[in-house]
Amino acid sequence: MTDIQNGNAGAPEKKKTVLSAVQPSGNLTLGNYFGSLSRFGEFTEMFDCYYCVADLHSITVRQVPAELRRHTYEVYALYIACGLDPKENVLFVQSHVHEHAELGWILDCYTMFGELSRMTQFKDKSAKHADNVNAGLFTYPALMAADILLYQADYVPVGADQKQHVEIARDIATRFNGAYTPTFTVPEAYIPKEGAKIMSLQEPTKKMSKSDKNENASIYILDSRDDIIRKFKRAVTDSDTCVRVGEGKDGINNLITIYSCCTGKSAEEVECEFDGRGYGEFKLAVGEVCADKLSPVKDKFDELMADKASLGALMKEGAEHASYRASRTLSKVKRKIGFVEI
């Protein structure tokens, strides 16, 4: 990322655009929080911001309909609870803006089988869901490219696991622009310095994931204080006793990252603070700062979820705004390809 800190420096008349998305595929984790949601508020002033609840993506894995509906409201409410003002940011649900599916199909035809086969997420998810390796799971990156390119996004804030998908979106945009004339902005991934990859508390070599079956492996944003503290107490560490970053100390490294993200302290400051104190004391402290960090988000979330009708109205408004921008890009794409306009 080069000039994201400067926003529209050099082009004062037009703000640059940020787009990101979260799938409503389960209860959001601390990984989703630090890798994406918690950072979005900082972009509001300088950029045109679009955030979507990626429900179309979530059905690449079987979802229970009532749970999908609930999670869609929850992710939407969490965007707001994490600090996004729906008047200042366009917050919408992907399936409410039909241009995503339409451009997704078009971009399927500009995406190569070979490049899709190299996607790590496809390999991981098809191994995890061997009974349902569907075509959507395979072509997911083309739909994600559509999500980004429809809004001519300059920056895509994501966790490190999504970097490969932003790179393929860049390749698709470049290929399309080369086949016709410049049509899409070529986007850049924006990956945080801290919290880019929060690891599982039970298997710290794996990323923390909302679809992990082991509930003790993930801290959910909406977990109670007691659950958060209990899960950190049970977090897998190592046989050392020193709170230090080190090779082979994946569990402790992860806890230090989480403590840093919650307090804003550097890893060195955390090591100093816990010098001579054991893992037990450290785990308790991580649990406490994490619970403190998430508590206001949970309070705001509860308030928002108590009024689903208002959330529904905001969704409608967000979809209308998003659709306006998306339809302009889609019309342009169709014209370039040679589709007949009526």
Catalytic residues: 125, 207, 210
Measuring CA to CA, which residue among 58, 70, 54 is closest to residue 20? 54
**Dihedral (CA of 88, 89, 95, 97) sign:** positive
Give, in degrees to the nearest 5, the angle at Cα 121 between 42 and 206: 80
- E strand map for 77-194: 90-93, 155-157, 188-190
Member of 18, 22, 169, 173 binding ligand AQP (CB under 6 A): 22
Please work out the total of residues on this chain that contact ligand AQP, with binding judged by CB under 6 A.
22
Q: Which is nearer to ligand AQP, 63 or 323 (CB)?
A: 63
Residue 44 within binding range of ligand AQP, rule CB under 6 A: no
Give the full edge-to-edge strand order of the sheet including 155-157.
90-93, 47-53, 16-22, 155-157, 188-190
Q: Which residues lie closer than 8 Å to 127 by C-beta, 6 or more apart?
A: none
Tokens of 78: 């969490």
Min CB(297)–ligand AQP separation in Å: 15
Residue 60 within binding range of ligand AQP, rule CB under 6 A: no
182-221 residues in contact with ligand AQP (CB under 6 A) are: 196-198, 207-211
Q: Which is nearer to ligand AQP, 98 or 197 (CB)?
A: 197
Q: What distances in angstroms separate CA 216 from CA 29, 205, 297, one per listed residue?
A: 11, 15, 21
Q: Characterize 160-198 residue by residue with b for buried, 16 or more Cβ atoms within 10 angstroms of its Cβ, and e for exposed.
A: ebbebbbbbbbbbbeebeeeeeebbbbbbbbbbeebbbb
Min CB(66)–ligand AQP separation in Å: 17
Min CB(46)–ligand AQP separation in Å: 19
Tokens of 195: 């919290």
Residue 251 within binding range of ligand AQP, rule CB under 6 A: no
User: Is the Cβ–Cβ distance between 294 and 228 less than 8 Å?
Assistant: yes
For 319, phi then psi, to 5°, come to -65, -40
Q: Which is nearer to ligand AQP, 162 or 323 (CB)?
A: 162
260-279 residues in contact with ligand AQP (CB under 6 A) are: none
What is the full DSSP assignment across 48-86?
EEEEEE-HHHHTTS---HHHHHHHHHHHHHHHHHTT--T
Min CB(186)–ligand AQP separation in Å: 19
Min CB(109)–ligand AQP separation in Å: 24
Which residue type occupies 142? Answer: A
Residue 71 within binding range of ligand AQP, rule CB under 6 A: no
Q: Which is nearer to ligand AQP, 208 or 315 (CB)?
A: 208
Q: Which is nearer to ligand AQP, 68 or 196 (CB)?
A: 196
> Which residue number is nearest to ligand AQP in terms of Cβ?
35
User: Is the Cβ–Cβ distance between 220 and 34 less than 8 Å?
Assistant: no
Min CB(198)–ligand AQP separation in Å: 4
Min CB(334)–ligand AQP separation in Å: 28
Q: Which is nearer to ligand AQP, 206 or 277 (CB)?
A: 206
For 302, phi then psi, to 5°, come to -60, -40
Site string for ligand AQP, 102-141 (x = CB under 6 A): ----------------------------------------
Q: Which is nearer to ligand AQP, 29 or 237 (CB)?
A: 29
Residue 254 within binding range of ligand AQP, rule CB under 6 A: no
Q: Characterize 264-300 residue by residue with b for buried, 16 or more Cβ atoms within 10 angstroms of its Cβ, and e for exposed.
A: ebeeeebeeebeeeebeebbebbbbbbbebbeebbeb
Member of 84, 90, 91, 158 binding ligand AQP (CB under 6 A): 158
Considering only the stretches 18-26, 80-88, 251-259, 273-281, report the one whose residues sit in contact with ligand AQP under the rule CB under 6 A: 18-26
The site for ligand AQP (CB under 6 A) is made up of 22-23, 25-26, 29, 31-32, 34-36, 158-159, 161-162, 196-198, 207-211
